[in-house]
Amino acid sequence: MTPRSRRFITVNYEQALEQTVVLREVLPPDHLARFVVMVVAELDLSAIYERYGARGRPAYAPDILLGLLFYGYATGVFSSRKIERATYGTLPFRFIAGGLHPDHDKIAEFRKAFLGEIGELFVQILLYAQLLGVLRLGNISLDGTKIHADASKSKAVSHKRLLELEVQLRQEVAELLTLGKQADQGEAQLPDGLVRENEIALRQQRLVNLAEAKAVLEARAEERYAAELADYEAKLHDRVEKARKTGHKPGGLLPKPPQPGPRDKDQYNFTDSDSRVMKNSSNQGFEQHYNAQAAVEQESLLVVATTLSNHPSDQRELEPTLDAIPAALGTPEAAAVDNGYFSRDDITACEDRDIEPYIATGREAHHKNWRAYFATQPASPPEDTSPTVKMAYKLETEIGQAIYRLRKCTVEPVIGIIKEVLGFRQFSLRGLAKAAGEWCLVCLAWNLKRLHVLAMVN
């Protein structure tokens, strides 16, 4: 019972259902949905329009579908089914769709069909940011993150188990053939329901699938062996150089040469064969992942390059990510990268592109005392010292510390927002090429979200 002396404002819900909503009133001029529509209108979509045939039923304009995808990914709605439902019940989506309701299949097909063109639009949006004066390609930060593939870990097979299954299946095929001959000669009777031809065909198809998996694992093993052999030879070279300079044999154990060929625990996944089992930093478990890379401009926090690989380590990811920076944007002045990328080749890759590298040579200590922060700058190392010592000195300089420290408040927060705030933790598409296209779409959507903020500030 409410007190009689107090009056309350109530709602007549039957009358509320008759209300007319004017989108212009509920979506302010600076709303993200309006900004997305405005930017899409500025893009050159001729490459997409040219892919449509002259005949057929009327199709939804690419502007509408792009707007829905861009706004969806920018607000954490990645499912085509959820985007379709949002065109009915969520005002910004309803505005972008103009009251239309594209089917989720149409949205999903459009996304898959135009991933290549979306990569071109990623570049166009960055050029638009330059035109607005909010992007100047100065220093960049680069980092990678593991993102779950659209693949079940239970649908994977290890190389050791694969070899065991091959033996088992061949044995079963031989048994079925023998049983069939005995049944034809009246010496044995087939079990009820067993169709010999079907059972043999099933196992032969599985053998074909296992042969494909085996070939992939062997190719990956060759790639891994080549990379490990290069690292091994580099370590031997460093030991020889150290011995030559000091006149003493270096201490410690000799590096072990890598072993060629697949390993017992190497795995192949049948639902997404391009994905690989990688260590998950969030729970220290092992899942089917891709390794997503992003280069972020330090001042604007815009992603200027994306790549995707199925390599568990970041060791070989710096150079392809630098190459992914659109030439039309120019060349960054410096790159801040963590120790997971450190190698002689990566230093050379930066220098060959006129990019000053700042790559950590080891893990940075946490909770440094004030003496460490205000210590006198160390003396410059000799010219013939190792690249590791030179880079360590470079990071101790005032300019080195200023550039490298920004990595933690530029690329790491961007990736954190994409995964934690937007909730992008699993790809919707399978295969390396398609997943790479979706990662580009995610970063494009982040750029739109960030550009919206920068445009309002400026």
The proportion of the chain whose per-residue pLDDT surpasses 90, expressed as a percent, equals: 43
Per-residue model confidence (pLDDT) at position 331: 92
Asked if residue 213 lies in contact with residue 270, where contact means CB atoms within 8 angstroms, the answer is yes
Given this model, what pLDDT does residue 398 score?
A: 79
Reply yes or no on whether the pLDDT at 399 is more than 90: no
pLDDT band at 145 (very low <50, low <70, confident <90, very high): very high
Considering just the CA atoms, what is the radius of gyration of the chain in Å? Answer: 29
pLDDT over 70 (residue 388): yes
Query: Which residues touch 404 (CB under 8 Å, ≥6 apart)?
Result: 336, 358, 360, 395
Quick check: is 171 in a domain? yes
Residues 308 and 349 in one domain: yes
- pLDDT (0 to 100) of residue 379: 62
Task: Tell me: pLDDT of 323 over 90.
Answer: yes
Q: Give the CATH number of the domain where residue 317 resides.
A: 3.30.420
**420 lies in a domain?**
yes
Domain ranges, residue 340: 136-151+280-431
On whether both 299 and 416 belong to a single domain, the answer is yes
Asked if the structure places residue 181 within a domain, the reply is: yes
For the segment 1-36, what is each residue's pLDDT rounded down to a tens digit?
555 688 889 899 888 888 888 888 889 999 999 999
pLDDT digits (tens, 9 = 90+) for 279-319: 776 656 788 899 999 999 999 999 999 999 998 888 889 99
Determine, yes or no, domain membership for 84.
yes
Question: Encoding tokens for residue 325?
Answer: 């920076």
Does residue 259 form part of some domain?
yes
With beta carbons less than 8 A apart as the criterion, state whether 334 and 356 touch.
yes
Q: How confident is the model at residue 130 (pLDDT cuts 50, 70, 90)?
A: very high
**pLDDT, tens digit, 9 for 90 and up, residues 202-222:** 989 989 989 988 998 888 888
Q: What is the pLDDT of residue 235?
A: 82
pLDDT digits (tens, 9 = 90+) for 231-253: 888 888 878 877 877 778 887 78
d(CA 163, CA 218): 12
pLDDT category of residue 186 using cuts at 50, 70 and 90: confident
**Do 165 and 184 sit in the same domain of this protein?**
yes
Does 170 lie in the same domain as 145? no
Q: How many structural domains does the chain have?
A: 3
Query: What is the pLDDT, as a whole number, of residue 281?
Result: 66
**Which one-letter amino acid corresponds to residue 88?**
Y
In terms of domains, do 352 and 246 share one? no
Signed CA dihedral, 335, 337, 341, 347: sign only: positive
Same domain, 322 and 413: yes
Are both 357 and 254 inside the same structural domain? no
The answer on 244 and 189 residing in a single domain is yes
- How far is Cα of residue 376 from the mean position of the Cα atoms in its chain? 40
Q: Are 241 and 308 within one domain?
A: no
Q: What is the pLDDT of residue 366?
A: 53
Lookup: tokens for 212: 């494909």
Identify whether residues 144 and 162 lie together within a single domain: no
Residue 15 counted as domain residue: no
Task: Write out pLDDT tens, residues 332-344.
Answer: 999 988 888 888 8
Q: Indicate whether 83 pLDDT > 80.
A: yes
Q: Decide if 458 is inside a domain.
A: no
Are both 388 and 289 inside the same structural domain?
A: yes
157 is a domain residue: yes
- Residues 338 and 234 placed together within one structural domain of the fold: no
